[in-house]
Chains A and B, each alone.
Chain A
Amino acid sequence: MATVAERVAAVTARVLQLDPSEITPEKTFTVDLGAESVQSIELVASFEEEFGIEMDEDAALSVESVGDAVTFITQVCKEQGVEV
């Protein structure tokens, strides 16, 4: 089973139309990966669909880097009883 980091990278690569190798933990979604505002919303929706979770939009949209997204999603999965 793919790790949370691998799944986050795969979703990010698909939504932002990037090569998965470009998605590294220190990269920020907006500055480094070029996510526009609508794509940020698409990313949140796609992470929710990928992991079967509901994220608070304010908290989710305040996450800046890929690594922080992995940490945040892992925490939300734990809180919502989703095994990852």
Chain B
Amino acid sequence: MRLILLDQQTDKRYHFNPLALSRPIWELRYGITSLAEKLIAATGLTDVACFLPPYMAEVYKARTDWPVNDPKSLEGDDLLIVSARARAEFFSPDKGPGPSRVNFDDDGDCLMIRVAKEDLGKLKTDSIDSLIESAKAAFEPCNCEIPTWNYIWELVLENPDQLTKDFAALGRSGVEGTIEEPAGFRGSKNDIFVGKDALVHPMAVLDAEHGPIYLDEGVEVHPFTRIEGPCYVGKKSILLGTKCREGNSIGPMCRLGGEVEESIVQGYSNKYHDGFLGHAYVGEWVNLGALTTNSDLKNDYSSVSVMLDGRTPIDTNSTKVGSLIGDHSKTSIGTLFNTGAYVGAMTLIAATGKPLPKFIPSFAWFLEGVVTKGFGKGKLYETATTAMSRRGKEWTQADRDMWDEIFKLTAPVRKPAIAKGRRSLARH
């Protein structure tokens, strides 16, 4: 049976922005692994293909061995087509083979289709959209309710518990790297894993009393860092005297300092200096300048709302939500993000000392307290090229094409913000 991961351009896809602007939803981190890794582990299927928005296909092909947007992957085997929004806990290997069934949510978005190989002839397999439509007409609905991810902040809010579950599922503990003395430990050492080539400098504290700590291969922990479990630190990331509070998932090749709490960092991002990041989801290639701080709790303790489209506040039903920061965004020293701030991808922020607006569109240059066109996307691409080369990664033509498309996709919310900023500047 083949697992087909599905990320369609539906009306709900923007609920996972700004991270989902530049990657399929299944690449989002949750606990120690990604949503895709969880779906694969839950279904027990190793033959995997995927379908995602066409504009990001070329970039994704360079990152995966799976067939991407290839209709041939819809032929020749039993299929289990699963939306990236479907939660892995619904699946288990014994739910694999069986009669062909479909499952759609109340808005008609496909959550799961199971196709027995012998039924493939009843379907159109020239494209994923055709297959879904023909399956909807051909097969009975499955009598089941599939739990879904509905907003990106759900991953952040549930991350601490998932870290603990993932640590238990991986079943690894012990020290394969090096811990230099004197080191401080709290809790059980069975709840600590230090991967190969990882190095914990003297005077670091690993506090696993309330949850496990997983330091992946090549992680470096500098002196005076305190890591509270549950926590995952990805390959070759460096903690620089960090107050690493509970519930963090840090991807690979990050540099983190200051105070970080219950946050997810996708990878390749820097927050070198002091400043607080809490209940945030930060993309790749982000640089947060010294003293950049986000609020994750309102002064009146009411639930936090987030504007994902720049217009409509969405109640998160949580009192703790920090910032959502898209790929390649950069902040100046002293940047202050409001509670539940949305910071689009490819933004450049020069702080004025005041808390920023709750929504900053992608490709915005936030200067003098307003959204401007700044020096344009060309300069942002130059910076992206430099940032990636510093970590041995190449900015390719495919990257440029994808970001050009994201520039177009995000123009409708950016243009009014720029016009408003222009009026404000002209009045000065």
Contact = CB atoms under 8 A, between A and B. Distances in A.
Interface in A1-50: 15, 37-38, 41-42, 44-46, 48-50
Nearest to B418: A45
A58 interface: yes
5 contacts: A38-B368, A41-B365, A42-B425, A46-B425, A56-B376
A81 B302 CA distance: 50
A45 B422 contact: yes
Contacts of B426: 45-46, 49-50
A84 interface: no
A45 B372 contact: yes
A61 interface: yes
Mostly helix, strand, loop or mixed at chain A's interface?
A: helix
Contact of B376 (A37, A50, A58): A58
B13 interface: no
Nearest to B370: A45
A61 B423 CA distance: 19
A57 interface: yes
B378 A45 contact: no
B175 interface: no
Nearest to A14: B428
A49 B373 contact: no
Contacts of A50: 426
B375 interface: yes
A46 B424 CA distance: 9
B375 A45 contact: no
Interface residues of B, number: 16
A50 B425 CA distance: 11
Contacts of A42: 367-368, 372, 425, 428
Category for how many chain A residues contact B: 10 to 19
A49 B372 contact: no
B421 interface: yes
A41 B422 contact: no
Contacts of A56: 376
A49 B375 contact: no
A48 B422 contact: yes
B216 to A, nearest CB: 40
A21 B425 CA distance: 23
B350 A45 contact: no
A58 B367 contact: no
Contacts of A46: 422, 425-426
Interface string B16-30: 000000000000000
Nearest to B424: A45
The dominant DSSP class at the B interface is: mixed
Interface of B: 350, 365, 367-368, 372-376, 378, 421-423, 425-426, 428
A1 B426 CA distance: 20
Contact of B425 (A37, A45, A57, A61): A45
A72 B159 CA distance: 53
B425 A49 contact: yes
A5 B374 CA distance: 24
Contacts of B422: 45-46, 48-49
Given A49-B423, A50-B426, A61 B368 contact: no
B423 A41 contact: no
Contact of B373 (A15, A37, A38, A57): A57
A44 to B, nearest CB: 7
Contacts of A41: 365, 367, 372-375
Nearest to A46: B426
A50 B427 CA distance: 11
B423 A57 contact: no
A37 B423 CA distance: 19
Nearest to B423: A49
Contacts of B423: 49
A46 B423 CA distance: 8
A38 B350 CA distance: 10
A61 B350 contact: no
Contacts of A48: 422
Contacts of B376: 56-58, 61
A7 to B, nearest CB: 12
Contacts of A57: 373-376
A49 B427 CA distance: 10
Given A45-B421, A46-B422, A50-B426, 17 more contacts: A37-B375, A38-B350, A38-B367, A38-B368, A41-B367, A41-B373, A42-B367, A42-B372, A42-B425, A44-B373, A45-B373, A45-B426, A49-B423, A56-B376, A58-B375, A58-B378, A61-B376
